Structure 1
Amino acid sequence: MTAANVAYTPMNRGLRTALLCVFLILTGCAKQGVSSLPYDAWYLGFVAPTHMAVWIEAADVLDIRDRGFWRVMGGGARMDFSHRPEDGWSERTGVGSGKYISGSDLPKMIRVRWQSLAEMKTYDVVVEIPQPARNTMLTAQRAYCRLDGKVVPQYRTYLTIGLAPGGIAQAWLRGVCLDRIQVTRAVGRSVPSEDGYLPLEPESQAYIDAHGIPYGAW
């Protein structure tokens, strides 16, 4: 099966601003409820390029019913140390560190505030999930699953967001036995830090000292 991009049309600036205002209001009043999904929950995970460690201060979800789910995730993002950062995002990167979002319907927006430890900068970004991507999350596909050797119907229930220096946020969808599909890409804004920065691992700091940060690779 070949991975493909999901095409979409970006929101205009006025609509984006209005939805962001709604998002900021609703993220403080998350509600649990019955969703219309054909599965119990979808997964939100985060990854970072090799040596470009990330610390997530908060991740919030706004679903298609305009319900906010506040601070569903925090902490470190998974890195794949088998891949050089200058080569871009690794195809081997899994679903990332995260959690299942229970009680939510399909995602409309994901807001993430995170620290780029390689830069010692903090970013805030809103990732809009386009309708074609949500349609994909509702479409079962038959896939050969090497876990049990059977061809089974599956959904792409894993939404992974890659966070990189420069405020880059790249989103993908995948299933347990379904290839990764690129969803969208956003660029966050730099914001003042509310906390101190954790130090990089010595190996990562040594790599950055020797090679720098490959802006543009992501």
Structure 2
Amino acid sequence: MASKQAVAVSRTESSTVQRSGSQVQNRVSAYEQHSSHEESTQLSGVRRVSSYESNGSTTFTNGYSTALTNGLSLALKNSSSNSVVNETSLLITSNVTIEEEKVLFAKLNDRLAKYVEIVRSLGLSREDIDLLISQQRTTETTMKERLESLYVSRINDSNFQNEQLRVENAKLTAELNKARSDYEKQRALVAKLELDFRRTDEERRKGLIQIEELTTKIRSTELRIKEFERTIVV
């Protein structure tokens, strides 16, 4: 019962986190679609600027480097932030002027501020966000532990079955070897019996021949005796 309640709570927490993330995603997408036209207009206007003071550009670059890093880390995570990627590619090329760089930094800073405003408008405090993250991590950890336990259990069952099959295979192999040995012995015995039978049959045939010869001699002797008796009587 406790495990079912834990699963229900984990599903509720996961759905809450997903709804919050989808709300942020929708608001960020709407903001980017609204600001894409204004950004293209500003970039086309900046292209016409031909000069800028070097001292001011150095101070501005140092001041907005943090805003660029934070803004890109949030914007690049969104699937609809193609304009930010294009702006970043402009900063990497050597053809970007200092005025264009200034405008790009400003837009990224404004976008970061807008993202912060969107997150705050959801009514989620840092404690709530940390709680959601903690609950999500707990859910993921629980699911991971369950999967690992199930995986280990199946591995142990497979190893046990493999061991049983190995023992059974060894037993059957021993029985097969014994059967083969008995078969060889029986076959040798049958061969010996067949040889003895042939010898006995040969001796029997020789005995029959001798009996016939003796019978012939006896008959011949009897005839001679009869002839001798007749001679004596006469």
**Larger-gyration structure (1/2):** 2
Asked if TM exceeds 0.5, the reply is: no
TM-score, scaled to structure 1: 0.18
Q: Which has the higher strand share?
A: 1
TM-score norm. by structure 2 comes to 0.18
Higher helix share: 2
